[in-house]
Structure 1
Amino acid sequence: MSTNPGRLTDKQVAFLLQPISENRVRHLRGMSHLEAWDVRRQLIRIFGFDGFTIETQSLDLVSERETKDGNRSRWTIVYRAQVRLTIKGTDGRPMTVFEDAAAGDAINQPSIGDAHDLAMKTALSQALKRCAVNLGDQFGLSLYNDGSQAPVVLRSLAYMGEPVKESEDTPVGGEPTPAHAEGEQDPEPTPPAPRAVPKQEPSAPAPAEQQRRPGAMPPAGPGERQEALDAMWEAARAVNFADGLPDQFVTAFGHPIEQGTAAEFRQARDLMAGSAAA
């Protein structure tokens, strides 16, 4: 085992070079990313509770926008965070420092306090993940390679072996935009790209409303789940919240609308109906 001051141990290096586990990767809206809490968990596992520090260098309000809906207000908040991640050796001395920044937003929120809290938390989490990705595949570096989980580092000459040969190298795919690669929200909701709608017989055309609303499920015929989904969208339109619903659904239930259940749709509908009655 390596015992040089200011160096990673052999076990730490070997673990960092392993491919990332499928269990740690979240797939959301066609993109792959890690959760910030999981990044912290992995930092503890590899470097120890006292083996790293996370410092907020700055946290700045970028935008605060109020939208009126009758007597009610909706808030869209954006923050920018600068974060420093310091990795320590087993002797407690700092080995390396990573700094990066990110913006985080909270869109169309009914509470200004909750909106600020969510936007700050999102900005800090994304900045931390951008710092940690410098530690390689265990912290999501391979996900930038078109969402691949195949390792891209393989080995490092600073610690072991021969250079990576061209025949061993992982093919380079397209890199998504950083926000999508890490599962961040866009500053403003972006309408989904138009989907190709299969040609249907004139006697059974696809409902136009289902073709254009975000998060709508394909026609499923009569059924409890479809009825609950339709009722949720109707409630969202009634309170002018259709644009903000997809992101808020993910925040509330941890997955996109397409994966929702009838019970979740009813719960979301009841929350919006209660907001309208307030």
Structure 2
Amino acid sequence: MNATGRLTEQQAAFLLQPISGKRVRNLRGMSHLEAWDVRRQLIRIFGFEGYTIETQSLDLVAERETKTGDRSRWTIVYRAQVRLTIKAVDGRPITVFEDAAAGDAVNQPSLGDAHDLAMKTALSQALKRCAVNLGDQFGLSLYNNGSTDAVVMRSLAYMGEPVPESEDAPVGGEPSPQGEPSGPDPEPTPPAAAAVPPQQVRAAPTAVPDPPREPRPGAMPAAGPSERQAALDAMWEAARAVDFMDGLPAQFQAAFGHPIEQGTAAEFRQARDLMTGSAAA
């Protein structure tokens, strides 16, 4: 995939992963993400310079004072409209999201603190509503009764013509502060056989090959030397690590529209990353 002017293959694959339940908070029975976590995820996926947040408007809606004796309590409400711009790695804008939200501060003893809290709440809520357009990593699935199961799963915009396996770009896992994600090492290439003089060559006995075996769900396919086979092995290894061997064939067909036997190296990597990313913090 050409990263110029659009998301990279790694970014798109990561955005299609289900959200980690460890990031979800619950308040009065409602599942949500915290604003600091949304900003962290924007940095992790797009980089420090890969997005901008602009305040389009910030308006005072209400200011109410309640007196109890000689003490005042303040309730403040603000409305904010925010624009979130996502950029490609070359700095060009890819897409823009705008949304608005209201935020309040109730029964606060300090007028200044009440205004500050209400403004921050409105701005944070508006940002989260913009970011949810980026899918499950930004809380879209939480609108489905608080579920952390992916609701996007795939996007036709990133499923173009198959790329020859020798040109497949590796799909990375979730970024981690401890280091960059790494995929499985390629299968070693066997050394070339030494040349044998023609007069020393003897005819080898004819062997009858074993009939091909259909892969069984839950069975680990035999390793092979090709890049596609290495990606297939890595996918099954990830399925075994998260105890998803039996469910993988059906889930793969649902996600990519064909059985595992017809899958490409890129699809195997994406399936592997979905399984490993679902268990990541």
Shared fold (TM-score greater than 0.5)? yes
Aligned residue for 2:109? 110
RMSD between aligned residues: 1.8
Matched residue, 1:25: 24
**Cα contact 1:66–1:73 (8 A) shared by 2:** yes
1:58 aligned to 2:57? yes
TM-score normalized with structure 2 length: 0.57
SS at match of 1:82: strand
Identity value in percent: 82
C-alpha separation in 1, matches of 2:100 and 2:26? 23
**Pairs aligned (count):** 165
Equivalent residue runs for 1:162-241 within 5 Å:
168=254
Quote how far apart the aligned CAs of 1:50 are: 0.2
Structure 2 counterpart of 1:67, one-letter code: T
Look up the match of 2:13.
14
The unaligned stretches of length 5 or more in structure 2 are 162-250, 256-281
- CA displacement at 1:3 relative to structure 2: 2.5
Cα drift, residue 28 of structure 1: 1.7
Write the distance in 2 (CA, Å) between the matches of 1:131 and 1:140: 11
Distance 2:254 2:71 in 1: 59
Is 2:121 the partner of 1:122?
yes
> TM-score, length-normalised on structure 1?
0.57
Q: Is residue 100 of structure 1 aligned with residue 105 of structure 2?
A: no
Structure-2 residue corresponding to 1:82? 81
3-state SS of paired residue (1:147)? coil
Q: Which has the higher contact order (CA 8 A, sep 6+)?
A: 2
SS of the equivalent of 1:155 reads coil
Task: Give 1:93's aligned amino acid.
Answer: R
Asked if 2 retains the 8 angstrom alpha-carbon contact of 1:155 and 1:161, the reply is no
Residues in 2 aligned to 1:34 and 1:48: alpha-carbon distance in whole angstroms: 20
* Structure 1 residue 5 displacement after superposition: 1.9
Q: Which residue of 1 aligns with 2:267?
A: none
The amino acid across from 1:29 in the alignment is: R
User: What SS does the corresponding residue of 1:96 show, helix, strand or coil?
Assistant: strand
Q: Specify the SS of the correspondent of 1:14.
A: helix
| Match of residue 72 from structure 1 | 71
**Any conservation in 2 of the 1:85–1:98 contact (CA below 8 Å)?**
yes
Separation in structure 1 between the aligned mates of residue 88 and residue 26 of structure 2, nearest angstrom: 33
1: CA distance between counterparts of 2:2 and 2:158?
12
Provide the residue aligned with 1:250 in structure 2. none
Matched residues in 1 for 2:151 and 2:103: separation?
28
SS at match of 1:138: helix
1:47-80 CA deviation, whole Å, 9 max, x = no partner?
0000000000000000000011011000000000
Q: Which has the larger radius of gyration?
A: 2
On the 8 A contact 2:3/2:89 being kept in 1, the answer is no
| CA distance in structure 1 between the partners assigned to 2:80 and 2:151 by the alignment | 28
What are structure 1's unaligned runs of at least 5 residues? Answer: 170-278
Could you tell me how far 1:168 is from its partner in structure 2?
4.8
